[in-house]
Structure 1
Amino acid sequence: MTAHQHADPLPAPAVRYVWYGVLLVLGAVVGAAGSLVQAAWPPAGLLLALLASAGLFYGGLRATATQLGVGAAGGGWLVAIVLLSFGRPEGDGLFGGGLGEMVYLLGGMAVAVMCATMIRLPRPAP
């Protein structure tokens, strides 16, 4: 390897485990916030929610230097989305089952898969 092509160093295992926990919680927060935003301001809210999800997933990849970082963020995101889609026995739910909700769900999952399968670019030399 030359000076310009060095491997992406992995953070220490303890640091990565902390990142995984933080990313799991952030995924749930971004998923819940995105579900509110995409319904409140269509169609710009949907775009904003998907961009926030993509930023979180890519940030998880860069912070941990592993695909598991994307998985932790995506797992928290998906759990929040699924729990919010169930609704309550009284009949009120956050998702109404429209096209925007399906695009948010499927689009977010597609973005998570894309981020998890990305080739990690090497960090620039200091």
Structure 2
Amino acid sequence: MSSRQRPRASSESPRTNAPPRSPEPSGLAAPPRPARIPLYVGLAVLGAAVGSAGALVQAALFPGGLLLALAASAGLFYGGRVLTGTQLGALVPAVGWFISVVLLLGGRPEGDFVFGQEIGLALFMLGGMAAAVMCATMSRLPYPAIGTGRPGM
């Protein structure tokens, strides 16, 4: 073997006696970081507020109000996803939104409802849930290439 060649790896390489480590859980299986818990609570409260406001707006101004309410809901879910960088960031405001909307569905004993029309209610519920699922299941967020030192970027 010449001095310029590196020795090849072989099965006779030294082994360590360290036990194999199990992989760290990722995604929804990973425990939330303690610093993010107040952020998640805030997102849940904000989701409940957007759900309540959306219920009132979509019933008052049917075609435009419904679109405005769905856009606000989708913006909150996507914003939570981008802010935290996790799927949980989109699911937590969606849970707050869903709980507030379901509570508003109950109505009062007198028979009053917050929602005006049945079609508006169905579109608001289905559209909001679809937006939550899309934001929670989207692929990893793209990271900007600025400052990476890669040529051509």
Please state which band the TM-score falls in when normalised by the shorter chain. 0.7 to 0.9
User: Given the alignment, which residue of 54, 75, 84 partners 1:34?
Assistant: 54
1:1-126 matched pairs, under 5 angstroms = 13-124=33-144, 125=146
Q: CA deviation at 1:122?
A: 3.0
More helix by share: 1
- The ranges of structure 1 where at least 4 consecutive aligned residues each deviate by more than 3 angstroms after the TM superposition are none
Unpaired segments ≥5 residues, structure 1: 1-11
Tell me the secondary structure at the aligned position of residue 16 of structure 1: helix
Identity %: 58
Matched letter for residue 111 of structure 1: A
Tell me the secondary structure at the aligned position of residue 100 of structure 2: helix
Matched letter for residue 33 of structure 2: P
CA distance in 2, matches of 1:96, 1:46: 11
2:11 corresponds in structure 1 to none
Matched residues, number: 115
- What is the TM-score of this pair, normalised by structure 2? 0.71
Larger radius of gyration: 2
Matched letter for residue 109 of structure 1: M
Unpaired segments ≥5 residues, structure 2: 1-31, 148-153
Q: Which has the higher contact order (CA 8 A, sep 6+)?
A: 1
CA distance in 2, matches of 1:18, 1:27: 14
Q: 1:19–1:63: 8 Å Cα contact kept in structure 2? A: no
CA distance in 1, matches of 2:56, 2:107: 14
Q: CA deviation at 1:97?
A: 5.0
Please give the root-mean-square deviation of Cα atoms over the aligned residues, in Å.
1.5
Tell me the secondary structure at the aligned position of residue 92 of structure 1: coil
- What is the TM-score of this pair, normalised by structure 1? 0.85
